[in-house]
Structure 1
Amino acid sequence: MLEWILGLYCLYLLIKLYAALMEIGFVEKAQRFEPVILSAVNYTKAAAYKIASQKLLLTTTLYDFILFFAWIGFGLRRLDEIVIFENTLLNSAAYVLVFSAINYLLTLPFEIYQTFGLDKKFGFSTITPRTFVLDQCKSAVMFVLFGGAFFAAMVSIIDTFKDWWIYGFVFSFAVVLFINMIYPIVIVPMFNKLTPLQDETLQGAIERLLEKAGLHSSGVFCLDASKRDNRLNAYFGGLGRSKRVVLFDTLIAKLTTSELLAVLGHELGHFAHKDILKNIAASALMLLVMFALFGNLPLALFESLHVEPSAHAIIALFLLFSPVISFAMMPLFGLMSRYNEYRADAYGSECENQEALRDALMKLADENKSFPFAHPLTIALYFTHPPLTKRLERLGMHFESSTKDACAH
């Protein structure tokens, strides 16, 4: 069993490395073509950022590979020897928290480089060291308090029920739904300032748009995203009565009212087509598959790792190997998501008009420096949205065939 796990992880590693190398070569070639969608300056910057991001991905993938084998080879066993409490529940919860803390600290340098190195260099990140440290501290406190409680509950479920993975899945999925419900009204305000939209004309137009779609929200809010990042975005957050419209201040500053309504119309398209429920169902399916796999691990695996088949060992293996399972299932979910995005674009066009949505998408790409082309393998493995050129073509825009043909290869 251990040989199978190691083999699958190596395959996962090789596919990620190969895809990143293909993407780098693809973008290096595509950046020499005549710019489309983005301004000439931002087209060049977007290509450079994409290449730098893929090189960082190569590094972090190899680093994760080393960490994985360190944990499998001796880390789990050594941690079991260090974390010792008489109370079984406390011992298991502490083990998982220490395991998570070590992983966090070992990967923190890459997050710091991404934020203060790469994103600062390309003009995205506006966060100060003080805000970054405060964010990390808040996240750590929340993780210890709520993560500790969650892990303790999972340990109890594993130790109590024979078919624990069924009950564990139900409990975990309920927690996911609860977090989604409270996210915009509890978690977001801990990190960002949310204020009711001050532009009464814009708010009225948004409310009419929501009413037409049959969506009842708890309000329209502006989020001070610019204190951390210059990227543009908007989203509908929450579930049930906690649903609210959240607009980044960067988005309000850059888009016209018509363009902004087209973007919100696109998001409403997901609501109208019940894409949110579909995504929840897809997430539930992925989570169920993971629990079914890790709820039926053979004892021989734990013996080969020289660890007891304890609740905390099962959770640690779950956390270590879940990225591989998610990666394997992502192409299918990505295909479904890209189809949903096309339908949402059509809905957004009907809410406003095709020209407004086209202009909004082009502004978003230019401001966010999103390179408009990608290697087909990258699209298949990672993209939840279709390439921008394909979306714009569906919205009536045409590109030079020479550029399209060159980037298609």
Structure 2
Amino acid sequence: MLEIFVIAYCLYFLFSTYTSFMQIGFVKNAKKMRPIILDDEKYLEAADYSVEKEELSIISAFYSFIIFLCWIGFGLNTLDSLLTIESTWLKAVVFVDLFIIINWILGLPFELYTSFKLDKKYGFSNMTPALFIKDTLKTGILFLVFGSAVIAAISWIISSFNSWWIWGFIFIFAVIILINMLYPVIRDKMFDKFEALKDKELEEKIINLLNQVGFKSSGVFSVDASKRDNRLNAYFGGLGSTKRVVLFDTLIQKLSHNELLAVLGHELGHFKNGDILKNIAIMGVVMFIFFAIFGNLSDEIFLGLKLQNEPYAIITIFLLFSPILSFFLMPLISLISRHNEYAADEFGSNMQSKEDLVSALLKLANENKSFPLSHPLYIFFYYSHPPLTERFKELGYDVQNDSDNALKDSIYADAN
């Protein structure tokens, strides 16, 4: 049985690296073509950024594969032999915590390179060593306190129920819902500075927009995202009474009022179309599948890894092998998501105008250096949003068939 999981992990590794190689080759060829959507300089820069990210992804995948082989070869057994703890729940907490911490330490070089080398090279990252350390310490404290509590609870559920995976699923699903409710509050208190919008005219327009679709929130806020990153973004955070509209300060600086309203109109389209509830339901189904599989593991897997069939081992195996299932389920989830994005675009363009939404998407693509073309296989696996070329086509701008650049010029005129 362990062999099946290992083979599946090898296939996952091969598929993921193959898609990255295909994407690199595709982007390098597309880079030589006439620029579309982005201006000439940003088009070349976005292509280079896309290629460098994928090259780093391939190196990271090889590195992660070696770490995986070390864990199943001797790492898990060595860690188990070092921890002589009789308490079932305490051993689960210590073992799983150490497993996660060791993986984080081993992956730290890639995180540091991305933040302080790659993203700074392309003008994204504003991260400082002091802020990185501060964020890391806060995240570590949250993990050790709340993560350990969740591990202890799951350990107790595994030890207490024969069909523990059903109760474990219910518990973890509830925890995820709670995290989504508290996310904006946690970000506000520990990481970001949330402020009421200083532009009262914009705030009034946003509130009117929310009222049109019956979206009730606890407020509209600006967040100082630029202290870490220059990318543009906005989101509706929280659930129930904690719902709030959050605009990155970078977005407010770069987009006009009408463009901002078009972006928010798109997000409200997800709300009006029930996509939030659909995504929660999909997440629930995926999690149920995960728990059904890992809740009924054969003893052969534990024997192969030289571990006891106990909570600490079950949770660790779940963490070690769940990326495989996530990767192969991703195309279906992404397909559903892309369909929802088209519908949200239509709703957003009707709430404001197609011109405003196209102009906003154009600015987002340029500022975020999003290369507009990708290999079909890469889109199939990774794109939760349709390619910009397809989104523009649905909105009436067929940029790929614009041979004389007139359409591209008209989009830039709209953006300016």
Q: Smaller-chain TM-score range?
A: over 0.9
Work out whether residues 342 and 391 of structure 2, in 8 Å CA contact, stay in contact via their aligned partners in 1: yes
Residues of 2 paired with 1:335 and 1:156: CA distance? 37
Q: Would you say 1:346 and 2:346 are equivalent positions?
A: yes
Work out whether residues 194 and 221 of structure 2, in 8 Å CA contact, stay in contact via their aligned partners in 1: yes
Q: Could you say what secondary structure the match of 1:247 adopts? A: strand
State how 1:75-224 maps to structure 2 within 5 Å: 75-224=75-224
Partner of 2:65: 65
Q: Could you say what secondary structure the match of 1:120 adopts? A: helix
* One-letter amino acid matched to 1:157: I
Partner of 1:265: 265
Partner of 2:54: 54
Residues of 1 paired with 2:68 and 2:195: CA distance? 43
Partner of 2:241: 241
Partner of 1:364: 364
1:400 Cα shift? 4.3
Q: Could you say what secondary structure the match of 1:245 adopts? A: strand
Residues of 1 paired with 2:378 and 2:188: CA distance? 31
Partner of 1:407: none
Deviates more, 1:319-328 or 1:88-97: 88-97
Residues of 2 paired with 1:19 and 1:385: CA distance? 17
Work out whether residues 88 and 311 of structure 2, in 8 Å CA contact, stay in contact via their aligned partners in 1: no
Residues of 2 paired with 1:72 and 1:361: CA distance? 45
Equivalenced residues, count: 403
1:236 Cα shift? 0.2
Partner of 1:291: 291
Give unmatched runs, 5+ long, in structure 2: 404-416
| Structure 1 pair 243–6 and aligned structure 2 pair: CA distance change class (3 A) | same
| Structure 1 pair 2–241 and aligned structure 2 pair: CA distance change class (3 A) | same
Residues of 2 paired with 1:228 and 1:359: CA distance? 25
Q: Could you say what secondary structure the match of 1:235 adopts? A: strand
Residues of 2 paired with 1:101 and 1:180: CA distance? 24
* One-letter amino acid matched to 1:169: F
Partner of 2:253: 253
Task: Give a deviation string over 1:88-140, Cα, whole Å, max 9, x none.
Answer: 22122111111111011010110000100100001000111100110001000
Task: Give a deviation string over 1:10-69, Cα, whole Å, max 9, x none.
Answer: 111110111000000000000011111111111111000000000011011111111111
Q: Could you say what secondary structure the match of 2:399 adopts? A: coil
Q: Could you say what secondary structure the match of 1:269 adopts? A: helix
Q: Percent identity of the aligned residues? A: 51
State how 1:329-408 maps to structure 2 within 5 Å: 329-401=329-401
Residues of 2 paired with 1:83 and 1:120: CA distance? 41
Give unmatched runs, 5+ long, in structure 1: 404-409
* One-letter amino acid matched to 1:174: A
Residues of 1 paired with 2:64 and 2:285: CA distance? 26
* One-letter amino acid matched to 1:3: E
1:267 Cα shift? 0.1
Residues of 2 paired with 1:209 and 1:350: CA distance? 12
1:2 Cα shift? 1.1
Task: Give a deviation string over 1:293-345, Cα, whole Å, max 9, x none.
Answer: 00000111111111111110010000011111111111001000000000000
Q: Could you say what secondary structure the match of 2:386 adopts? A: coil
User: Over aligned residue pairs, what C-alpha RMSD do you find?
Assistant: 0.9
* One-letter amino acid matched to 1:253: Q
TM-score, normalised with respect to structure 2: 0.96
Q: Could you say what secondary structure the match of 1:271 adopts? A: helix
Task: Give a deviation string over 1:383-402, Cα, whole Å, max 9, x none.
Answer: 00000010011111122438
Residues of 2 paired with 1:400 and 1:51: CA distance? 21
Q: Could you say what secondary structure the match of 2:236 adopts? A: strand
Residues of 2 paired with 1:271 and 1:367: CA distance? 26
* One-letter amino acid matched to 1:367: E
Task: Give a deviation string over 1:128-158, Cα, whole Å, max 9, x none.
Answer: 1100110001000110000010000010000
* One-letter amino acid matched to 1:330: M
* One-letter amino acid matched to 1:11: L
Work out whether residues 37 and 399 of structure 2, in 8 Å CA contact, stay in contact via their aligned partners in 1: no
Task: Give a deviation string over 1:208-231, Cα, whole Å, max 9, x none.
Answer: 000001100000000000000000
Deviates more, 1:300-309 or 1:50-59: 300-309
* One-letter amino acid matched to 1:337: S
Partner of 1:41: 41
* One-letter amino acid matched to 1:132: F
Partner of 1:406: none
Residues of 2 paired with 1:53 and 1:29: CA distance? 16
